[in-house]
Structure 1
Amino acid sequence: MDVGGRQVWYEVHGAGRPLVLLHGGYGSTETFAPVRPALAARRRLIAVDLQGHGRTPDADRPLRHESMADDLAALLRRLDLPAVDLLGYSLGGGVALRTAIQHPTLVRRLVVVSAPCRRRGWYPEALAAMSAHDERAAERMRGTPAYERYARVAPRPQDWPTLWAKSGDLLRRDYDWSAEVAALPMPVLLVFADADAIPTSHVAEFYGLLGGGRRDPGGDGSDRPASRLAVLPGLTHREVVASPALPAAVLPFLTHTVRAPG
């Protein structure tokens, strides 16, 4: 679909209230294939390919969480979807978070999967690996499953090195969205693996910004925050998005009743 002069690929599965899905770096809508049946049984899924990923062509601009969030907001408005539930994984988690920050009226509930709210929320080893993404790394990745998936669907498979160069530029940029996260008006579910690329210390910090982990909720749970946290056992950053534990955590959050303040 043309969105503000840019082509954005999306696909729809299932029926019901819309749940928008955003994949991770070097991924595509196919990232969610393992959990799609469970999610589509309850929701209308709108899976989107981000700039330069999957079937969405690259644009003459850098990769930035903020601009991809604006692209998504424009797509949602074109589709006349004023209040969606939004789930983003890794890179897509950052874009989902920025969408909720920049366009809060478009997001009813937000699910952030394995993404921090500031750059230094990643483990140092993960930061070092991400900082090394460039054209040379792209050449080393040729022949991998990620490259094969990209080459199969990308409008210009020859842009693989460009995607890595732009991704490296994005991943080396510092950011800290803590203050904006603390001001989010919608309920948020944070989902992490217990062996994620993000330490549990940052997970606790992130959840604290949303009002979590600050007090005993009381015997009836009446003082619990609107936002929730799920740490899924036995999984890594790469595995969490394909685990059946993900829809098992997400679907109840999307339907639970939020208590009115006070």
Structure 2
Amino acid sequence: MPYADVNGMSLYFEEHGSAAAGTPGTTTEPPLLLLHGGFGSGESFAPLIAGGLGEGRRVITVDLQGHGRTPDVAGRPMTMEAMGDDVAALIKHLGIEKADLLGYSLGAGTAARVAVQHEELVNRLVLVSMPARRDGWFPDVTAQMDQMSESAAEFLKDSPMYALYERLAPRPEDWPVLVGKVAAMNRQDYDWTDEIAALSVPVLLVFADADGIRPAHMAEMFALLGGGLKDPGWDGGGRPASRLGVIPGASHYDLMFSPLLAPTVRSFLQ
């Protein structure tokens, strides 16, 4: 199985797409790294890859710390900053000069940290369903995050998330550890508005129209990237490099399964 030894951990990754490393054919497009949400794995992106996202492109899925086939690191808290460093180390390990990054939820936070902390490695950035500040979530969402703890692990064993973890994890008995670390991370306050506003790489923000993130915050994030501040002119000359996409008929929980997501992302990356 493909593991990369980075930052004191064995990070699991897989190659997909019609231009994966070692397959015939060439592509001028940068490789695309896909970063999953909390309690997920690289397998979560199967619908996107099947929807054509890997056509003519090298696609790499990553199992983040303690998720999927990547074992946890004892004594290391789970933070998006640290996981951002892990992904940056993987990019260097694979000899990639620049990569496109797409992250969903927790993975979007990780992708954002890669761009903030290692912007020289990022070509384009796609952030799916992630706020720039913790209070960008609706208050009931943050209230649920505040109430979650390791004690929820037993209750969550009836969920598809646990079924995935039990099937893939090197140590399924570590499920309570993962739940506890994700819960602790989600309770931490953060505000990345200044760092996101300082990014020079093009960014695609994608949200659901029934997301857990406040619509006003979606517009605020787009404004941080220069969007929605003025009319671009009849020829589009004033259009910002970054884009905003709102997927209709979707929520935070099923956005990744929308057939509209793959073409939205593909259009931006091309």
Q: Which amino acid aligns with 1:50?
A: L
What CA distance in whole angstroms lies between the structure 2 residues aligned with 1:207 and 1:176? 15
How many residue pairs get aligned? The number is 255
Q: In structure 1, what is the equivalent of residue 44 of structure 2?
A: 31
Q: Match of 1:142, SS?
A: helix
Written as runs of structure 1 = structure 2, the 5 A alignment for 1:220-235 is 220-235=235-250
- Contact 1:134/1:161, CA 8 A, preserved across alignment: no
Please say if 1:109 is aligned against 2:124. yes
Q: Note the C-alpha offset of 1:44.
A: 1.4
Paired residue for 1:89, among 90, 97, 104? 104
Structure 1 residues 186-213: Cα deviation after superposition (integer angstroms, max 9, x where no partner) = 0000000000000110000000000000
Q: In structure 2, what is the equivalent of residue 11 of structure 1?
A: 14
Written as runs of structure 1 = structure 2, the 5 A alignment for 1:235-254 is 235-254=250-269
Written as runs of structure 1 = structure 2, the 5 A alignment for 1:104-253 is 104-253=119-268
Please say if 1:51 is aligned against 2:65. yes
What CA distance in whole angstroms lies between the structure 1 residues aligned with 2:86 and 2:178? 17
- Contact 2:150/2:183, CA 8 A, preserved across alignment: no
- Contact 1:130/1:168, CA 8 A, preserved across alignment: yes
Paired residue for 1:20, among 8, 33, 36? 33
Q: Which amino acid aligns with 2:221?
A: F
Q: Which amino acid aligns with 2:113?
A: R
Q: Note the C-alpha offset of 1:3.
A: 1.2
Q: Note the C-alpha offset of 1:143.
A: 2.5
Q: Which moved more, 1:11-20 or 1:112-121?
A: 11-20
- Contact 1:133/1:167, CA 8 A, preserved across alignment: no
What TM-score do the two structures reach when normalised by structure 2?
0.93
Q: In structure 2, what is the equivalent of residue 258 of structure 1?
A: none
Q: Match of 2:208, SS?
A: strand
Q: Note the C-alpha offset of 1:133.
A: 2.2
Q: Note the C-alpha offset of 1:243.
A: 1.3
What CA distance in whole angstroms lies between the structure 1 residues aligned with 2:203 and 2:86? 21
Q: Note the C-alpha offset of 1:33.
A: 1.2
Q: Note the C-alpha offset of 1:125.
A: 0.9
What CA distance in whole angstroms lies between the structure 1 residues aligned with 2:230 and 2:209? 23
Q: Quick one: percent identity of the two aligned structures?
A: 55
Q: Note the C-alpha offset of 1:35.
A: 1.5
Q: CA RMSD in A?
A: 0.9
Q: Note the C-alpha offset of 1:135.
A: 1.8
What CA distance in whole angstroms lies between the structure 2 residues aligned with 1:96 and 1:63? 15
What CA distance in whole angstroms lies between the structure 1 residues aligned with 2:143 and 2:44? 24
Q: Match of 2:248, SS?
A: strand
Q: Note the C-alpha offset of 1:36.
A: 1.3
Structure 1 residues 97-129: Cα deviation after superposition (integer angstroms, max 9, x where no partner) = 010000001000000000111111111111111
- Contact 1:121/1:199, CA 8 A, preserved across alignment: yes
What CA distance in whole angstroms lies between the structure 1 residues aligned with 2:134 and 2:55? 35
What CA distance in whole angstroms lies between the structure 2 residues aligned with 1:241 and 1:117? 20
What CA distance in whole angstroms lies between the structure 1 residues aligned with 2:197 and 2:9? 32
Q: In structure 2, what is the equivalent of residue 260 of structure 1?
A: none
Q: In structure 2, what is the equivalent of residue 259 of structure 1?
A: none
Gapped runs of 5+ residues in structure 2?
20-26
- Contact 2:146/2:187, CA 8 A, preserved across alignment: yes
